[in-house]
Amino acid sequence: MEKRLKKLPTGIQTFEKIIADGCIYVDKTRMLINLIETGNVYFLARPRRFGKSLTLTTLEAMFLGKKELFKGLYAEAWMNRPDFVKYPVIRLSMNKVTTDSGIENLRNSICKIVYDEAQKSGIKLSDCKIPGALFEELIVGLLNKYNEKVVILIDEYDKPYIDFVDDPEMADKVRETLANFYVRVKANDEYLRFVLLTGISKFAKLGVFSKLNNLTDISMNDKYAALCGITREELLQNFPDYLELTAEEMQISKDELVERMEDFYGGFSFNGEMRLYNPHSILRFYENNSFEEYWFDSETTTMIAKYLKGKNFTVEQFHNYPVSRDFVRNPGEMDSAPPEGFLYQGGFLSLREGITADYALDYPNKEVLNAMSRLVSGNLLSRNNGDYSDCYTDTINALYTLDCNMLIEALNRLLASIPYDDYKQEAKKNIIYNAYTFSPKEWFYRATILTFFRGCGITAIVEMHTNKGRADLVLNYKGQVWIIEIKVAYEGESPAAKAEEACRQIVEKNYNKPYPDAICVGLAIDDSARQITEYRMTNGGKK
């Protein structure tokens, strides 16, 4: 008889619904109890789609005393104590705020979510159109009705502001509105039992952190590093049947499956030590049994696309990016942070132990790396009216049909999209990678091409070492390996000679020794034309 699997909570962000539907719930209530008992006002920064909403709805059910939902969970005994007290709860999701129709509509939208929350508790509010005043009415109304202090849970507190990260004028108006709203939390401090705000970044300008002088930021606290996300132990403990079934269907061992899942969806760290899986991606993976990109939804893509607009950086420059302890404590606010600060807070980069510094940043996993590569490449092409989809299609077709000429044409369209000024800027930089020094332009060309391949979902490795050297790029598409060596022909140098040199290097350095059936290609980029004008092949493929 086929084993009956417990339901997955895919797309469900409400604790009560997860329990009522009989879905798998990864028990985080021990950490939540510790939060409740050791403090009053907290802030937690985590990327989108990482379990913040579930955390808040779990707290809501705990404070409301819904004991029947916690059977078998750590919180069950805690909630059954004789001295357990219920508290009224205000839970607001700023994700619901409309931000695309001007500042007045935004204020009205905030008012609406406050009205909706009041209606849940039977609190009658006035017809006031000032969001902060309504918020205060709701706090006082709940206090008077239940004669107990109030719990405030605010999800994605910074979402309305982040929506205008590329529009400083509108961002200022939104910031003022939100600051006037959140200041009511401090103004009513004596009436509050517990407060938790979640978001992506700690925006001092929104007034929350300057006004709430008793607020504790737990974003980097080791005790709560696993409050959102799934640890390896939790994966094994809570999903054993899914792991067994998926491994069987993929015809691999369970240990190999877990390693692949970690490589594709794990690697997130918020203290530099503990590694976490993205819960959204894990659930989607179990449903589809396919290693695809699930985390980059439309909102996440829109946010990073807005940030990339008009900017130029390569994906490779953020591998093993050294940062100090000061950066980890304060990476800056997303609207003014350097690129590494923005990408770190958005979840696109994660913490590692540093080699030359206290910490280093890097992409947490293949899902994020590939998606970022696609977005960076798409942004690059769009800056010169290029079409990413055409380049992508031609590249995939070229690798599938082993057509090197088509591949070169696609790469040349990519190189043609890089503005001239970007080449000049890159030429001024000294590039050191894995202890090797590179010609700045060679690095820039190679990093751009590598980023594009990864954005196409192609397994691409840079600096693949052999016993005699390191290949520039090693690609693997549907089992066919391509080894690509890149040379730059500067003024007075022969591109044909450079292509021959690249091919000769592949052979002499044994780059293809681990892959005897690899297609080996030597490329020569004419720096004056910024195009691949010559290439040679040592075996396989077609011109």
Least confident among 150-154, 250-254, 464-468, 492-496: 464-468
Tell me the three state secondary structure of residue 323: strand
Helix (H) or strand (E) holding 532: strand 531-539
Token output for 75: 């919180």
Report whether 186 contacts 212 (CB < 8 A): yes
**Pairing outcome for strands 480-489 and 321-323:** unpaired
Tokens 């969001």, residue located: 131
Q: What is the pLDDT of residues 310-331, one digit of tens each?
A: 676 778 888 888 888 888 777 7
Domain boundary assignment for the chain: 15-224, 232-288, 387-539
pLDDT for the residue 434: 43
Share of the chain above pLDDT 90, in %: 53
pLDDT of 217 strictly over 90: no
The reply to whether 387-539 shares the fold of 15-224 is: no
For residues 527-532, give the mean pLDDT: 91
Helix (H) or strand (E) holding 141: helix 131-146
Tokens 């990016």, residue located: 321
Q: What confidence category does residue 298 fall into, taking pLDDT thresholds of 50, 70 and 90?
A: low
pLDDT for the residue 386: 60
Q: What is the pLDDT of residues 225-256, one digit of tens each?
A: 999 999 999 999 999 999 999 999 999 999 99
> Terminus-to-terminus CA distance in the chain, angstroms?
55
Report the topology of domain 387-539: Trna Endonuclease; Chain: A, domain 1 (3.40.1350)
What is the C-alpha separation between 286 and 279, in angstroms, rounded?
Answer: 11
Average pLDDT, the chain: 86
pLDDT for the residue 3: 64
pLDDT for the residue 465: 47
Q: How many CA atoms lie within 13 A of 313 on its CB side?
A: 15
**Pairing outcome for strands 519-526 and 480-489:** parallel
pLDDT for the residue 364: 94
Please tell me which residue, 282 or 377, carries the higher pLDDT value: 282
Token output for 261: 């899942």
What is the C-alpha separation between 156 and 109, in angstroms, rounded?
Answer: 15
AA identity, residue 159: K
pLDDT of 275 strictly over 90: yes
Q: Residue 79, Cα to own-chain centre: how many angstroms?
A: 35
For residues 128-151, give the mean pLDDT: 96
Report whether 430 contacts 438 (CB < 8 A): no
Q: What is the pLDDT of residues 256-270, one digit of tens each?
A: 999 999 999 999 998
Q: What confidence category does residue 1 fall into, taking pLDDT thresholds of 50, 70 and 90?
A: very low
The burial class, CB within 10 Å (0-12 / 13-18 / 19+), for 91 is buried
DSSP state of 195: E
Q: What confidence category does residue 467 fall into, taking pLDDT thresholds of 50, 70 and 90?
A: very low
Give the CATH number of domain 15-224; options: 2.40.160, 3.40.50, 1.10.287, 3.30.70.
Answer: 3.40.50
What is the C-alpha separation between 509 and 244, in angstroms, rounded?
Answer: 42
Q: How many CA atoms lie within 13 A of 535 on its CB side?
A: 26
AA identity, residue 382: S
Least confident among 32-41, 85-94, 153-162, 301-310: 301-310
